[in-house]
Amino acid sequence: MTVTSPIAGLGATIQRQSTTGQVAAALRDAILSGGISPGTPLREAALASELAVSRNTIREAARILEGESLVRYQMNRGIVVAEITADDVRDIYAARSAVEMAGLDALVASRDPVSYEKLADLVERIEDAFAGGDAAAVAENDRLFHAALVSAAGSPRLSRFHARLRQEQRLALTLAEHSSRRLGRTADDHRDLLDALRGSRARARAQLAAHLHAGAAELQRLIALLAQKAAG
């Protein structure tokens, strides 16, 4: 009797996934760098030829990016780089506000020095990246700052929900960082938020509300700019 190993054939799977991962990474970088604009169709045949891979590999890579909310499948258009609408922005920021306020309340109540130290370190990173024009680092450390704030609530479910919200707006946030000068940004306000978090609950909540409102307004302006560009 021949017994088939439960891991037989895994080598081929790993190799295929490695190629798929590389394709997904190349497309992700192009999308998040602004090289491929929101709403752009990703033609399977053209991409397969350009990257010297099969169309099936392109489809598998697209599924990875779809899970990251960077592309979507649309009827009669196929794979399309995701777009975020004004309604999306309002809804995402309303949800973010509810979740982040819970983290804020817990942090202000506990005054945990480790949490404050972590937030202070992230503010330094954000400011250094902003001064150096490193949009990717600004976006990443902004994500980590707000994730750290939510984690103060001590709820893994809130943290997971917040991560999904941030993932939905990842493309728009990255494009906003790349467009920060065009959007009129000359400074970052995370230090003001950190200072408020060290003060009273009322002051901290007011500053976080202002911070999120400014972020939502910035994305609304970005959407308008992209629409103007698309209109020619």
CB 60 within 8 A of CB 47: no
Question: In this predicted model, what pLDDT tens digit does every residue of 21-70 receive, in sequence order?
Answer: 999 999 998 888 778 888 899 999 999 999 999 999 999 999 999 988 89
Give residue 53's region: left, alpha or beta (phi > 0; psi -120 to 50): beta
Question: In this predicted model, what pLDDT tens digit does every residue of 90-99 receive, in sequence order?
Answer: 999 999 999 9
Question: What is the structure's pLDDT at 15?
Answer: 64
CATH of the domain at 209: 1.20.120.530
Question: In this predicted model, what pLDDT tens digit does every residue of 119-150 receive, in sequence order?
Answer: 999 999 999 999 998 888 888 999 999 999 99
73 and 92 share one domain: no
Quickly tell me which residue has 């707006």 as its tokens. 169
91 and 50 share one domain: no
Q: What is the pTM of this model?
A: 0.77
Question: Structural domain of residue 199, as residue ranges?
Answer: 86-231
112 and 211 share one domain: yes
Backbone angles phi, psi at 74, to 5 degrees: -120, 145
37 and 147 share one domain: no
For residue 204, tell me if it sits in a domain.
yes
CATH of the domain at 44: 1.10.10.10
Q: Of the candidates 48, 81, 114, which is a domain's last residue?
A: 81
106 and 198 share one domain: yes
Count of domains in the chain?
2
pLDDT over threshold 80, residue 112: yes
90 and 192 share one domain: yes
Question: In this predicted model, what pLDDT tens digit does every residue of 151-190 receive, in sequence order?
Answer: 999 999 999 999 989 888 887 777 777 776 666 677 899 9
